[in-house]
Amino acid sequence: MAYQALYILFALGALFGGVNVVARRNPVNSAIGLLFTFICIAALYILHGSPFLAMIQIIVYAGAILILVVFTVMLLALRDPGKGLAKFFTVPQKLFALFGAALLGGEMFYLAWHALAGVAAPGDADLATLSQPATLAQALFGKFLLPFEVASVLLLAAIVGAVALTRRPKGTAAMIDAPHPDEQGGPR
């Protein structure tokens, strides 16, 4: 009973953190929600009997990926976050996103229903056995080596693209960073 209560608590915590990532206008607050989600997912891994995956979750996602997200937000220097994004999304894109969210929500409900009913999900295996470091390494550097390397190259390309997109033309740094004339003056 206590196990189920903890599982439901951490699952709801991960859901709450995920909603906060999307709902917050300030990117730093969204990053804090993302950190909370990562910690709750790591706790779920521990409840499943896989402390190795929990530590990888904390080290890789909460440590490296979250710092990368915060660094990118600071690099972009958003002065007014959340404004101007609505014009980029058309009505068909919004409808497609709503359909995708409903589909994923239905899938999550189906899996939760079967998990709570005691029915094993398709392909369900013992997570503690599958998440041992030797088993993970054998799968990662054996059967899944090519997808692993493709994902790392894609992440590198995304980082290089983000830096290239945020570069300023030569000589404009002083003009962009200078305060607006209205900000320089004192009280009028």
Domain ranges across the chain: 2-81+127-179
What's the confidence (pLDDT) of residue 41?
92
Taking the C-alpha atoms of residue 10 and residue 155, their distance in angstroms, rounded to an integer, is 29
Please report the pLDDT score of residue 122 as a whole number. 47
48 with 128: CB under 8 angstroms?
A: yes
Confidence of residue 87 (pLDDT cuts 50, 70, 90): low
How would residue 89 be classed by pLDDT, with cut points 50, 70 and 90? low
| C-beta of residue 73 within 8 angstroms of C-beta of residue 46 | no
Cβ atoms 29, 18 nearer than 8 A: no
In terms of DSSP H, where are the helices of 24-57? Answer: 27-47, 51-56
Residue 14: which pLDDT band, with cuts at 50, 70 and 90? very high
Task: For domain 2-81+127-179, give the fold.
Answer: Four Helix Bundle (Hemerythrin (Met), subunit A) (1.20.120)
Q: Decide if pLDDT at 7 tops 80.
A: yes
Residue 50: how many other CB atoms lie within 10 Å? 22
Q: Are 37 and 21 in contact (CB under 8 A)?
A: yes
Contact criterion met (CB below 8 Å) for 37 and 18: yes
The Cα–Cα gap between 111 and 107 comes to: 6
Pure H helices in the chain: 2-23, 27-47, 51-56, 66-76, 91-116, 127-130, 133-138, 145-166, 173-177, 181-184
Question: In the prediction, which pLDDT does 121 show?
Answer: 47
